[in-house]
Amino acid sequence: MEIKPHRATRTARTRSHKFSGRCEACGKPLCSCQAYQYTDESNGAITASAPFLCRSCYEDRYGVKIPTEAEQYKARLLDKLGGYLDAFPDEKERDLLSRVMRLIDSTN
């Protein structure tokens, strides 16, 4: 019986290895919701062999900045307030809203 070409690829190479509960670079204990793993859309073997890393190790290894939940929330809030800025015709209201936006932007 002849094997069809699409069946010749091994599915084991596209399955990710099991998460051990630790960062594979520094060994810090991690929850699975805090572990990051590199994903390559075009090569499943790269994704499957990518290590599970903590935020700081992932940022160092791949040179990316992962925004925190607070940074994501602040960006969404400023985006929403920026949309309201155009809705106010009065200059005093626009000034107050822009001051609030500057205060939120400068807050950590």
| pLDDT tens digits in sequence order for the chain, 108 residues long | 566 666 555 554 556 678 899 999 999 999 989 999 998 888 878 888 889 999 999 999 999 999 989 999 999 999 999 988 888 888 888 899 999 999 999 987
Q: Quick one: tokens of 35? A: 């572990």
The partner residues of 22 in beta bridges, in order of sequence, read 29
Q: Quick one: tokens of 100? A: 């609030």
Q: How far apart are CA 102 and CA 8, in angstroms?
A: 58
